[in-house]
Chain A
Amino acid sequence: MRLQLTRSARLLASMFVGVMSALAFEATARAEVVDVDTAHTVYYEAPTRSHMFVYTPGLDLTVKPTSWLGVTAGYSADVVSGASVAVKAGPAYQNTHPGADVITAASVHDFRQVGHGGFSLAHGSTVYTAGYSYGTEHDYRSNAFFVTAKTDALEHNTEFEIGYAKNLDQVCDRTQGPNVTPSRAFALEDSNGCFTNGNPLRSKRDITVDAFQGSWTQAWTPVLVTQLIYGVQIIDGFQSDPYRSVILGEGLKAQEHHPNDRARQSVTLRANYFIRPIRSAIHASVRGYDDTWDIHSITAEAEFETYFGEALRVALRGRFYKQTGALFYSDDYSGGDRPLGPKGQYFTGDRELSPFTSILVGLRANYTFRRKEGNLFWIVESAKAGASADAVQFSYDQFTLGGTEIGDARAFILGLSGGLVF
């Protein structure tokens, strides 16, 4: 990829690097905190007719030059390679065309990059944070702004936080002909020509997201702390996968068509409990979710984390997730009766909108090194490293590929992380 920076962009970049360097130098000189974190995650799955490999690197830098100011900057990416289902059909259509292979897969290669920056201001026991991130993919652009305010009360035993975020995103789509109805729309073939000026075969579709969140964290005893989170999201715009088609009936294949509006809300309750005699902690959380597409889900997580010595922590975790399908979800939009024909206003080939259950088991280890006196290599106050491995098994209740159930629906997530505090 080649980046072409304008003169003003180069100037801004130089100023940003200069400010960050000055802040870092200032912080080091005053023995304040500079925190550098990196994490790398690999995701792999290979269910029936598809496979996906995603490598996600990330780097965050936080500088606190004074007690009341913090500045953050970071970069993350997704390097995506695999094959996904491009045309989805149901069992009724497959039964009437037993010799045809109606399910097709297409190779996927994408490179998502996100840069973000922000700052926080502390005033008394209240901290205000604001930030911005810009994300780019071959077929997607994202601009996101967020603000939060956090304060504590009751001798620091109670903490409240509220936040708001706004996304102004755009997704690339195939230019459809005039007066084309959704059941006649063609899917995007590839990302060639996306976000280039004057390409008549490509168009941009808007997505806006407004997100609100409030949380209440409470220390109940010296070994028990809980957190209650409530979040709302309102999404408006193009929410289909532009590449995916659904077979709707005899000779009728169309780009999947989702509603433009979606509102979702969730409530999460988390608790951490420390068991002093064995120097271990239990983490538990329950999350309930529903939205206007009629998806309801419940997530339950539990983790047992224990110390081995002073620096090494090892955690064993499990997660259960169950969701219902979207109101308009069907495994077969051709209706099942002759003559086959479309049913419903909306149609999708997305297995994530079908009812399913998943179970995750995983292991995590973290090591923190800190000298009792003095610094490491004169300037490093502490260093940390982490590794994790998770396996997820998905069980789809209704989703099939032309009547063939999804086999080998399991994913593996491996992670490595590290950090230095100066």
Chain B
Amino acid sequence: MFKLLAFLVLGTVMAGCVTVRPEQRSVLADPTMRFEGDELAQGQKKHALDNREGSTGGGGVSGGGCGCN
């Protein structure tokens, strides 16, 4: 836990030194650079894999249903 906190503090301090100016952000707005992507399709694939593995969780906080067959 201490290592994780130290990593977060160090990372946040380093992040404060970073400046990506608004005119440089065009690539960051590209669909290939978005983490959420196609949420519905990605969610369905994740749902299929989660039901075959013993370690779900940590990918979002919304829920609903079991779908565990």
Which residues of A are in contact with B by a Cβ distance under 8 Å? Answer: 37-39, 41, 43, 45, 52, 54, 56, 58, 60, 74, 76, 78, 80, 82, 84, 108, 110, 112-114, 116, 131, 133-137, 140, 142, 144, 146, 148, 154-158, 163-165, 167, 169, 171, 209, 211-213, 216-223, 225, 227-233, 241, 264-268, 270, 272, 274, 276, 280-281, 287, 289, 291, 295, 297, 305, 307, 313, 321, 323, 326, 350, 352-353, 358, 360, 366, 368, 384, 386, 388, 390, 392, 394, 411, 413, 415, 417, 419
Query: Is A231 in contact with B58, judged by CB distance below 8 angstroms?
Result: yes
CB-defined contacts of A305 to chain B, threshold 8 Å: 32
| B48 partner residues in chain A, CB cutoff 8 A | 41, 43, 54, 56, 411, 413
Contact present for A110 and B61 (CB under 8 Å): no
With both beta carbons as reference points, the residue of chain B lying nearest to A78 in the complex is identified as B67
B53 shortest CB reach to chain A, Å: 6
User: How many residues of chain B have a CB within 8 Å of chain A?
Assistant: 50
Pairs A–B under 8 Å by Cβ, sample size 21: A37-B40, A41-B44, A41-B45, A112-B65, A131-B62, A133-B65, A135-B66, A140-B65, A163-B60, A165-B61, A165-B63, A222-B28, A231-B61, A232-B57, A233-B58, A265-B57, A281-B33, A289-B57, A295-B54, A326-B54, A352-B54
The docked-state distance in angstroms from the alpha carbon of A124 to that of B41 is 30
Q: Which residues of A contact B43 (CB under 8 A)?
A: 39, 58
Answer yes or no: B27 CB below 8 A from chain A CBs.
yes
Q: How far is the CA of A135 from the CA of B8 in the complex (A)?
A: 37
* B6 interface residue per 8 A CB criterion: no
Partner of A157, one of B20, B27, B35: B20
* Separation of A135 and B62 alpha carbons in the complex (Å): 12
3 closest A-B pairs by CB: A135-B65, A266-B58, A231-B58
A142 close to B61 (CB less than 8 A)? no
Cβ contact within 8 Å between B31 and A313: yes
A388–B41 contact, CB under 8 A? yes
- Nearest-neighbour CB distance to chain B for A238, whole angstroms, equals 11
Give the interface of B toward A (CB within 8 A). Answer: 4, 8, 11-12, 15-16, 18-22, 24-28, 30-35, 38-41, 43-45, 47-49, 52-69
**Assuming the A-B contacts A41-B41, A216-B11, are A366 and B58 also in contact, with contact meaning beta carbons closer than 8 angstroms in the complex?**
no
Residues A218 and B59 in contact in the complex (CB < 8 Å), given A39-B38, A39-B41, A84-B69: no
Other than the known A219-B20, A267-B4, A352-B53, what 17 A-B pairs have Cβ atoms closer than 8 Å? A38-B40, A41-B44, A56-B44, A56-B47, A78-B65, A80-B69, A134-B64, A137-B66, A158-B12, A219-B28, A223-B28, A225-B28, A225-B35, A350-B54, A386-B41, A388-B41, A415-B44
Docked Cα-Cα span, A229 to B58, in Å, equals 7
- Complex Cα distance, B44 from A154, in Å, reads 34
Nearest-neighbour CB distance to chain A for B69, whole angstroms, equals 5
Residues of B within 8 A of A360 (CB): 49
Which of A134, A169, A211 sits near B66, CB closer than 8 Å? A169
Nearest CB in chain B to that of A289: its residue: B55
Complex Cα–Cα for A229 and B59 (A): 8
By beta carbon, the residue of chain B nearest A129 is B62
Picked from A52, A169, A227, A265, the residue with its CB within 8 Å of the CB of B69 is A52
- CB < 8 Å neighbour of A268 from B19, B31, B40, B58: B58
Q: Provided the pairs A216-B8, A281-B32, A295-B54 are in contact, do residues A112 and B40 lie with their beta carbons within 8 angstroms?
A: no
Task: Say what secondary structure dominates the interface of chain B.
Answer: loop
Q: Across the interface, do A135 and B53 meet the contact criterion of CB distance under 8 Å? A: no
* Interface pair A366/B31, CB less than 8 Å apart: yes
| A227 and B45 contact, Cβ closer than 8 Å, known pairs A112-B65, A114-B64, A216-B8 | no
- The complex places the Cα of A274 from the Cα of B25 at a distance, in Å, of 12
Q: How many angstroms from the CA of A133 to the CA of B67 in the assembled complex? A: 14
Chain A positions within 8 Å of B15 at CB level: 154, 157-158, 218, 220
Q: Give the residue of A158, A274, A417 whose beta carbon is less than 8 angstroms from that of B40.
A: A417
B69 adjacent to A110 (CB under 8 Å): yes
Neighbour of A58 across the interface among B27, B40, B60, CB < 8 A: B40
In the bound complex, what is the Cα–Cα distance between A209 and B66 (angstroms)?
12
With beta carbons under 8 angstroms apart, the residue of B19, B20, B33, B61 that contacts A274 is B33
- Report A300 CB to chain B, min CB distance, Å: 14
* Contact B66 A116, beta carbon cutoff 8 Å: no
Asked if B58 and A297 make an inter-chain contact with CB atoms under 8 angstroms apart, the answer reads no
User: Which B residues are in CB contact (< 8 Å) with A60?
Assistant: 39-40
Closest-CB distance, B48 to chain A (whole angstroms): 5
When distances are taken between beta carbons in the complex, the residues of chain A under 8 Å from B38 are 37, 39, 366, 384, 386, 417, 419
